[in-house]
């Protein structure tokens, strides 16, 4: 499914709005994400840092886990808002790949400007997938 301009703008807006709710006292790098499911619902997430750094969670994974907790398993697109249009980390790319390599990834800066639009496939060539576990 190709994103409509309206869907793209709603994802960008929602990711930008939720970004202000991020808990990032260590990095001061707030991230917001808005994930569009195939059923048309949007789930948001923010990064939540912890003094024990490995226990932190990224905005992208927060949104995916929220959607999965609500029973969603098919995703169309995710907008990721940061101050500079930063890309998802490797862990987030891997989690997104679990649900589809063709998920659109919109990278947005702090002004709400679309910096880049890719797919998970573009961001994670050679993704480790479920069929890699087969004998």
All structural domains of the chain, each given as residue ranges with its CATH number in brackets, are: 5-133 (3.40.140.10)
pLDDT at 134: 85
Whether the CA torsion 21, 95, 105, 87 is positive or negative: it is positive
pLDDT band at 2 (very low <50, low <70, confident <90, very high): confident
In the 8-state DSSP scheme, what is residue 4? Answer: P
Q: Is 60 a catalytic residue?
A: yes
Residue 79 has pLDDT above 70, yes or no: yes
What residues are paired with 110 via a beta bridge?
none
Mean pLDDT of the chain: 97
Query: What percentage of the chain has pLDDT greater than the value 90?
Result: 97
The pTM score is 0.96
Residue 37's H or E segment, with its range, is strand 32-37
- What confidence tens digit (pLDDT) does each residue in 97-131 have? 999 999 999 999 999 999 999 999 999 999 999 99
Q: How many beta carbons lie within 10 A of that of residue 26, not counting itself?
A: 11
Residue 84 has pLDDT above 90, yes or no: yes
- What confidence tens digit (pLDDT) does each residue in 29-53 have? 999 999 999 999 999 999 999 999 9
Residue 1 has pLDDT above 80, yes or no: no
Helices (H), the chain: 5-19, 59-69, 90-97, 120-123
SS3 106: strand
Please give the torsion angle defined by the CA atoms of residues 106, 61, 24 and 27, in that order, rounded to the nearest 10 degrees.
-70
Which of 60, 72, 76, 104 is the catalytic position? 60
pLDDT at 91: 96
């Amino acid at each position: 499914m190709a994103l409509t301009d309206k869907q793209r703008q709603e994802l960008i807006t929602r990711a930008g709005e939720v970004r202000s709710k991020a808990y990032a006292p260590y990095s001061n790098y707030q991230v917001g994400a808005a994930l569009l499911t195939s059923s048309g619902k949007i789930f948001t997430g923010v990064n939540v840092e912890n003094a024990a750094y490995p226990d932190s969670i990224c905005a992208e994974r927060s949104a995916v886990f929220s959607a999965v907790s609500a029973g969603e398993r098919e995703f169309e697109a995710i907008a990721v808002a940061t101050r500079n249009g930063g890309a998802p980390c490797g862990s987030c790319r891997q989690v997104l790949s679990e649900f589809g390599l063709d998920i659109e990834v919109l990278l947005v800066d702090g002004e709400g400007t679309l910096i880049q639009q890719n797919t998970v496939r573009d961001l994670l060539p050679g993704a480790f997938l479920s069929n890699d576990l087969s004998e």
